[in-house]
A = this chain, B = another copy of it.
Amino acid sequence: MSVPTIKFYVREGLLPAGELTSPNQASYGEAHVQRLRLVRALLDVGGLSVASIREVIVAVDDPERSVHKLLGTVAGGLVPSYGREPGDGIEEARKQVAALITSRGWRANPGSPAAEALAVALAALEEAGHGAFTEVLGAYADAAEAVARADLGYVAHNVAREQLVESVVVGTVVGDAIFSALRRLAQTDASDRMFGEAT
């Protein structure tokens, strides 16, 4: 990490300023390094924007927030935020999402960023002429539930709030990347079994 980059992060509010020991000397501790690693993980692997990371950081540092609310903020802020794309089939997709949430018995708000993101994605599928993809939505939801259970199980290990929150953030963002990569590998395998020729 170059010094100017760190300065930039401090200015952008991703990193707390060091403790000034004199007008132009500041000292940094392990906490700064840890925070820096968090920022890099979100940036490089999670692909978040600096602005999104700032939101997440602010939420993480706010001790007022209950753990559950914080998870909500994080999950919301971490949605990749697909291009504007208003689209017109979006209404239908929203209903579909609401129906899914109901049928699954999920305690989730149909207006949450995640739900909206799902609606946008489904609408895009429909528009691209692959509406039939929704056939597999059930299988996806099953898998998502399994993954979420695993996530929460992991999170429950960390009792200290600071650690807990961070594990949620990291797990959510890096977890996406990990799952995505695993899916590719599993697809490769499945494709090989289905279409693979000799050799």
Q: Which residues of A contact B (CB under 8 A)?
A: 34, 37-38, 40-41, 43-45, 47, 66-68, 71-72, 75, 78-80, 82-83, 85, 101, 104, 106-109, 112-115, 117-118, 120-122, 124-125, 127-130, 132-133, 135-137, 139-154, 156-157, 166-167, 170-172, 174-197
B121 touches A71 (CB 8 A): no
B106 touches A189 (CB 8 A): yes
B136 touches A183 (CB 8 A): no
Residues of B close to A188: CB separation below 8 A = 71-72, 75, 106-109, 112, 114
The distance from the CB of A23 to the nearest CB of chain B, in whole angstroms, is 33
Residue among A37, A101, A104, A136 having the largest count of chain B Cβ atoms under 10 Å: A136
A151 touches B195 (CB 8 A): no
Residues of B close to A196: CB separation below 8 A = 68, 107
Residues of B close to A151: CB separation below 8 A = 136, 183, 187, 190
Residue of B nearest to A149 (CB): B190
Residues of B close to A133: CB separation below 8 A = 154, 167, 170-171, 174-175
A181 touches B44 (CB 8 A): no
Contacts known (A107-B188, A121-B178); A139 close to B128, Cβ less than 8 A: no
Residue among A166, A167, A182 having the largest count of chain B Cβ atoms under 10 Å: A182
B44 touches A141 (CB 8 A): no
Residues of B close to A189: CB separation below 8 A = 104, 106-108, 148
Contacts known (A44-B82, A128-B38); A184 close to B75, Cβ less than 8 A: yes
Closest 8 CB pairs of A and B: A114-B184, A148-B186, A139-B150, A144-B182, A118-B181, A44-B83, A143-B143, A68-B195
B152 touches A187 (CB 8 A): yes
Kindly state the separation between the CA atoms of A54 and B146 in the bound complex, as whole angstroms.
35
- Taking A45-B85, A115-B181, A152-B194 as known contacts, 4 extra A-B pairs with beta carbons closer than 8 A to each other, sorted by chain A number, are A144-B183, A147-B186, A152-B190, A180-B180
